[in-house]
Amino acid sequence: MLKKLNNWWRWYRHPLPTELREFHQSVVIDGIEYDLMPAQLAHAEAMLAVERDAYFGQEPWPIELFWNEINRQHERLYLIVQIKATHTTVAYIGTAFRPSLREVHITNLAVNRQWQKRGLGKFMLSYIMSVAAQIQFETVSLEVRMTNQAAQKLYSRLGFRKVRTKHHYYDDGEDAVEMRSTLGKGRL
């Protein structure tokens, strides 16, 4: 118990490093140049547009939830990927850092359908896994729809393993598969 309290206190005094909140990185994925950066409140509308596109017009999260998550800078990190030439947001990933568990939880990952299958999802997950390992977190977890076999295959290729099924997890009643990757030496 004392160890968990000490971990929480350390995290409370020293949240996510400033470098994770204030960077802007150019990356080339599959021959296209993108910008990777932390999401700001001004990006929430573009993130919502990516989500609507990725989920065929549905909005699993309302805009207010994006605002709330982006503002929780102590333990949340949302990254966006924009096409460098047009500054169009085409993907994002959301994460919750759980210091008492030494775990990073992927809260959301969405890629505009036109930009899927170009390595953006794999890049963002790999990036978050690398960050988690650098700040000495031990696991990365997420939930994925039972029917989303393509995503499950991607996550498996990145070292995620199925942990359990969460019945009726989504608003429409669909089950989720909880997946987890253990980080460590030689994993990344």
In a domain, 87, yes or no: yes
**Virtual CA dihedral for 69, 73, 77, 78, nearest 10 degrees?**
50
In a domain, 174, yes or no: yes
- In the chain, the number of structural domains is 1
In a domain, 31, yes or no: yes
Kindly write down the DSSP assignment for every residue of the chain, as one continuous string: -HHHHHHHHHHHHS-S-HHHHS--EEEEETTEEEEEEE--GGGHHHHHHHHHHHTTT--SS-HHHHHHHHH-TTTEEEEEEEETTTTEEEEEEEEEEETTTTEEEEEEEEE-GGGTTSSHHHHHHHHHHHHHHHTT--EEEEEEETT-HHHHHHHHHTT-EEEEEETT-STTS--EEEEEEE--TTT-
Q: What is the mean pLDDT of the chain?
A: 89
In a domain, 8, yes or no: no
Q: 96: domain CATH number? A: 3.40.630.30
In a domain, 7, yes or no: no
**Residue pLDDT, tens place only, 9-61:** 655 555 677 777 778 899 999 999 999 999 999 999 999 999 999 988 776 78
Q: Quickly state the pLDDT bin for 69 (edges 50, 70, 90).
A: very high
The model's pTM is 0.87
**What is residue 61's predicted lDDT score, i.e. its pLDDT?**
83
**Residue pLDDT, tens place only, 105-134:** 999 999 999 999 999 999 999 999 999 998
Query: Which position has the higher pLDDT, 17 or 167?
Result: 167
In a domain, 49, yes or no: yes
* Structural domain that includes position 63: 17-182
